[in-house]
Structure 1
Amino acid sequence: MTAGLGAVTLAAGISSGQAQTQTQVQPTPTAPAPTAGAGKVRTEQRGPVLLIGIDRPQTRNLIDPAIIIGVGKALYQLEHDDGLRVAVLHGIGPDFSMGIDPPAFIAAVQAGIIPVKDPDFISILELAPPIRTKPLVVAVQGGTQFAGHEYFLAADIRVAASDTVFRQAEVTRGSFPGGGATVRFTREAGWANAMRYMLTGDTWGAEEAHRMGLVQEVTPPGKQLDVAIELAKKVAAVAPLGVRATLASSRQALAAEETTALAAVQPTFSRLQQTEDFKESQRALREGRPPVFRGV
């Protein structure tokens, strides 16, 4: 099962302060039973660096409500713990993330768990406040697609193993990227580079991502997290007020246009989910056939 729902209101994030080393963030007691077992988010503090690990390898790290909540809680911890200066997001197992787990997500929406209402939460996708003010480094490998790619794009510094396979292919599911890729991908890779992949649904690799400016370091498989941690340590070693001011100033230069664009993402995504083309894509997935789109 792939992430055909893109980011489906992933703006609902969560995060609680003072997560312990190797904490497993479980879904809330009222959560519906997720597909293939609930995901976990494992956090580990290494001095001023917080590691945030997506841990659901049996599903290729499909993002379920527990992962949305866990990542959001970890980012809240990063923001509010004065001892933390930077975080590293990574995926445990062969893949970073293949995107959303649609059945688990839909069940959580119906149960009122998504959007997340917890106050100790910062959404990684930042489609709505509060906004993270400390840096985030990401390390990816294997499948990094759909909402997984949007999590990747939300980071400030990006490291990819050479075996990474990227994809932002919501158009093949009668939808469009609902987690900000239409803004971030286009801004960072350039218009034609982003459209080359978002309008075709084709995959691309780490070297192509590096060429487009989406990836800052390409590593041998298995080394991506080590390189990301070393970069995070360098960030943590410099003046923290200067780092936060640099992030804030850089964001301010983009703020007016980007805030307006990101605010329009979710209404557009919701509208497309009501179309016959989107419904056809879901039928085709269930039936194992190519969808037939009619533009309605």
Structure 2
Amino acid sequence: MTDKAYLPGEGVIVAGPDAGVLEIRLDRPQAKNALSTPLLRSIVALLEQAEHDDAVRCIVLTGGDQVFAAGADLAEMAAKDMQAVLLEERPRLFGAIARFPKPIIAAVCGYALGGGCELVMHADIVIAGESAQFGQPEINLGIIPGAGGTQRLTRAVGKSVAMKLVLAGEFIPAQEARAAGLVAEVVADEACIARAHELAGKIAKKAPLAVRLAKDSVLQAFETPLAAGLAIERRNFVVLAGTEDRNEGVKSFLEKRKPVWKGR
């Protein structure tokens, strides 16, 4: 059990942690969960708290069963000139989400567009409902994606699909997003959040330090050349060899019993 109270912030609802899983749900239905800066602050505040809570092993991030997030908050954006955009805190907030060391699973139903699609790409695993639609339609507003939509998207789906979304502003449905590599699984809308929790629950039962370093190692594939990534992988492998959990994992396998992880 955790001794920390997770309180909802502006634009979000929080549930848990339950069996190691904390759910963060976007909650601006009147704006189709548009990503306002206060909403992003709320997500980051919860993640900062969860990072230091041993009772939280995995995050499920969702917008509910109707829409994930239809984009940035255009009313907020319209009020900003170039200087305000240059100095805004949104890059810092997205950066904090990207640096969160525990796994994040996004459960996506309905639209994940613009900033919503970019937020999805900050997750480690994406489970999509059959209704999900992904896109970067900023070009229709005379702008371009500004929170990773040209970079993370290209790394996830390749140049041609990324160019289609970014230049034409077209959306792709869940099955096409899965085929392109943006989504891990497509399930019925009514099963989407439950499947995300099921997967999060499985991850929450693994050795915490191994999960953390596994995530770090995989992410290095997007940040470093192969030789450097392999060196980081090996370093993390060696570090885990000195943990109590590694010894417990080997011992429990040989003794044909379930391991008891201690996170050290």
Q: TM-score, normalised by structure 1?
A: 0.68
Partner of 1:18: 4
Please identify the structure whose Cα radius of gyration is greater. Answer: 2
- State how 1:146-161 maps to structure 2 within 5 Å: 146-161=114-129
Partner of 2:146: 178
- State how 1:72-221 maps to structure 2 within 5 Å: 72-92=44-64, 94-104=66-76, 114-115=88-89, 123=93, 125-126=94-95, 131-221=99-189
Q: How far apart are 1:108 and its partner, in Å?
A: 8.9
Aligned CA RMSD, in angstroms, stands at: 2.8
- Return closer, same or farther for 1:232/1:129 CA change in 2, 3 Å cut-off: closer
* Mapped partners of 1:90, 1:143: distance in 2: 12
Partner of 1:68: 40
Q: How far apart are 1:175 and its partner, in Å?
A: 1.0
Structure 1 or 2: larger helix share? Answer: 2
Contact persistence 1:41–1:70 (CA under 8 A): no
Q: How far apart are 1:106 and its partner, in Å?
A: 5.9
Q: Which amino acid aligns with 1:97?
A: A
Q: Note the residue ranges of structure 1 that are not aligned, 5 or more in a row.
A: 1-16, 27-38, 117-121, 258-296
Q: Which amino acid aligns with 1:167?
A: G
Q: How far apart are 1:256 and its partner, in Å?
A: 4.6
- Return closer, same or farther for 1:94/1:253 CA change in 2, 3 Å cut-off: closer
Alignment deviations for residues 15-53 of structure 1 (CA, whole Å, 9 cap, x no partner): xx9343xx3213xxxxxxxxxxxx334343112111000
* Mapped partners of 1:190, 1:76: distance in 2: 32
Q: Which amino acid aligns with 1:18?
A: K
* Mapped partners of 1:104, 1:141: distance in 2: 24
Contact persistence 1:197–1:203 (CA under 8 A): yes
Partner of 1:253: 221
Q: Note the residue ranges of structure 2 that are not aligned, 5 or more in a row.
A: 226-264
Partner of 2:207: 239
3-state DSSP of counterpart to 2:222: helix
Alignment deviations for residues 132-187 of structure 1 (CA, whole Å, 9 cap, x no partner): 11110000111111100001111000000001122111122111110112111111
Count of aligned pairs between the two proteins: 221
Higher normalized contact order (CA 8 Å, seq sep 6+, divided by chain length): 1
